[in-house]
Amino acid sequence: MIPVSNLSAHPARAIGNQGDRAGHIDSEIERVQANDANQTQLLLNGFQRAREFGEVPAIAGGQAIEESDVNRLARALGQSRYLTDLQLRGNNIGDIGASVLAEALRENRSLRTLDLHFNLIGRSGARDLASALTHNNSLSTLSLSANRLRASDAVELADALAPNDGLASLHLSSNALDCHDLAALAKALKHNNRLTHLNVWGNPLGSQNAHVLADALIHNTSLAELNLYRTGLCAIGVKTLAVGLKQNIGLRELDLGDNPIGDTAASDLAEVLLSNKHLTMLSLCNCGLGETTARALASALSLNTSLTTLNLGQNKLGSAAILVLAEALRHNSSLTEIELTECPTDDTGKQALCDALRQNTSLTSLGRLHDADYVQNPSTLDLAIQTALRRNRLAAGNQARDV
Confidence of residue 24 (pLDDT cuts 50, 70, 90): confident
Region 360-377: mean pLDDT is 77
Gap between the Cα atoms of 103 and 319, Å rounded:
58
How far CA 93 is from CA of 4, 34, 140, 352, 396, in Å, comes to 6, 24, 21, 55, 47
Sort residue 288 into left (φ over 0), alpha (ψ -120 to 50) or beta. left
Confidence of residue 13 (pLDDT cuts 50, 70, 90): very low
Supply the DSSP symbol for 336.
S
Region 12-41: mean pLDDT is 76
Confidence of residue 21 (pLDDT cuts 50, 70, 90): low
Region 237-250: mean pLDDT is 98
pLDDT of residue 235: 98
Q: Where are the beta strands (DSSP E) in 84-242?
A: 85-87, 113-115, 141-143, 169-171, 197-199, 225-227
Check whether 355 has a pLDDT greater than 70.
yes
Region 370-375: mean pLDDT is 54
Phi, psi of 227 (to 5 degrees): -110, 110
Region of poorest pLDDT, from 131-145, 204-218, 231-245, 372-386: 372-386
How many residues make up the chain in this entry?
403
Q: Where are the beta strands (DSSP E) in 200-323?
A: 225-227, 253-255, 281-283, 309-311
Gap between the Cα atoms of 391 and 397, Å rounded:
10
User: What does the domain layout of the chain look like in residue ranges?
Assistant: 1-147
Confidence of residue 398 (pLDDT cuts 50, 70, 90): confident
pLDDT of residue 400: 73
Domain 1-147 has CATH 3.80.10.10: yes
Q: Give percent above pLDDT 70 in the chain.
A: 88
pTM of the predicted structure, to 2 decimals: 0.91
Region of poorest pLDDT, from 43-57, 267-281, 343-357, 370-384: 43-57
Check whether 56 has a pLDDT greater than 70.
no
Region 343-362: mean pLDDT is 94
Check whether 395 has a pLDDT greater than 50.
yes
Confidence of residue 58 (pLDDT cuts 50, 70, 90): very low
Counting other chains too, the contacts that 39-42 makes at CB distance below 8 Å and 24 or more residues apart are 39/82, 39/83, 40/82, 40/83, 40/84, 40/85, 41/83, 41/84, 41/85, 41/86, 41/87, 42/83, 42/85, 42/86, 42/87
Check whether 1 has a pLDDT greater than 50.
no
Q: Are 332 and 361 in contact (CB under 8 A)?
A: no
Region of poorest pLDDT, from 121-130, 253-262, 369-378: 369-378
Q: Is 75 exposed, middle or buried (0-12, 13-18, 19+ CB in 10 A)?
A: middle
Check whether 15 has a pLDDT greater than 80.
no
290 compared with 378, residue with greater pLDDT: 290
Q: What is the pLDDT of residues 286-314, one digit of tens each?
A: 999 999 999 999 999 999 999 999 999 99
- Residue 282, beta-bridge partner list: 254, 310
CB atoms closer than 10 angstroms to residue 377: 9
Pairing of strands 253-255, 169-171: unpaired
Region 168-182: mean pLDDT is 98
pLDDT of residue 324: 97
Mean pLDDT (the chain, rounded): 89
pLDDT of residue 34: 95
Check whether 16 has a pLDDT greater than 50.
no
Q: What is the pLDDT of residues 74-127, one digit of tens each?
A: 999 999 999 999 999 999 899 999 999 999 999 999 999 999 999 999 999 999
Region 264-292: mean pLDDT is 97
